[in-house]
């Protein structure tokens, strides 16, 4: 038991370090109806809970139903009576790989880049 406790503590600390790396402002561009559209994602870890907002030319949207598991996290956004799911992976190069499911423009993938 004494040997397992340090391993468990290490894994918990490593998981929270990756989660803390999610904090911040991230930007990407996606193809919109009128050409390229910039999206800004603002993520904040509050304890073990992820909160945040997506800012677009059409307004701000709060994220909900968040889950964080080490480098991987997911959330949902409600938009025009639809639920859009987002699955993310925090990468070693300080980017986030994001997969979008259920968007009115179809499923897509994008890379979010951290902003200073």
Q: How many CA atoms lie within 13 A of 22 on its CB side?
A: 31
Mean pLDDT of the chain: 85
Domain ranges across the chain = 4-114
Looking at residue 103, its pLDDT comes to 86
More confident residue, 44 or 81: 44
Beta bridge partners of 21: none
Tens digits of per-residue pLDDT, 78-97? 988 899 999 999 999 999 99
- Taking phi over 0 as left and psi of -120 to 50 as alpha, with beta for the rest, 35 belongs to left
What topology does CATH give the domain 4-114? Lipocalin (2.40.128)
More confident residue, 17 or 88: 88
Element (H, E) at 15: helix 4-20
User: Are the CB atoms for 99 and 89 separated by under 8 Å?
Assistant: no
Q: Angle at the Cα of 76 (from 49 to 67), degrees rounded to 5?
A: 30
Q: Angle at the Cα of 62 (from 94 to 49), degrees rounded to 5?
A: 60
């Amino acid at each position: 038991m004494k040997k397992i406790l340090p391993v468990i503590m290490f894994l918990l600390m490593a998981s929270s370090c990756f989660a803390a790396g999610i904090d911040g402002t991230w930007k990407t561009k996606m193809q919109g109806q009128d050409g390229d559209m910039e999206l800004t994602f603002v993520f904040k870890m509050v304890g073990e809970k992820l909160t945040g907002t997506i800012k677009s030319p059409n307004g701000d949207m709060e994220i909900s139903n968040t889950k964080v598991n080490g480098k991987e996290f997911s959330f949902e956004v409600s938009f025009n009576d639809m639920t859009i799911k987002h699955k993310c992976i925090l990468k070693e190069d300080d980017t986030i790989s994001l997969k979008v499911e259920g968007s009115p423009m179809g499923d897509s993938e994008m890379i979010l880049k951290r902003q200073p």
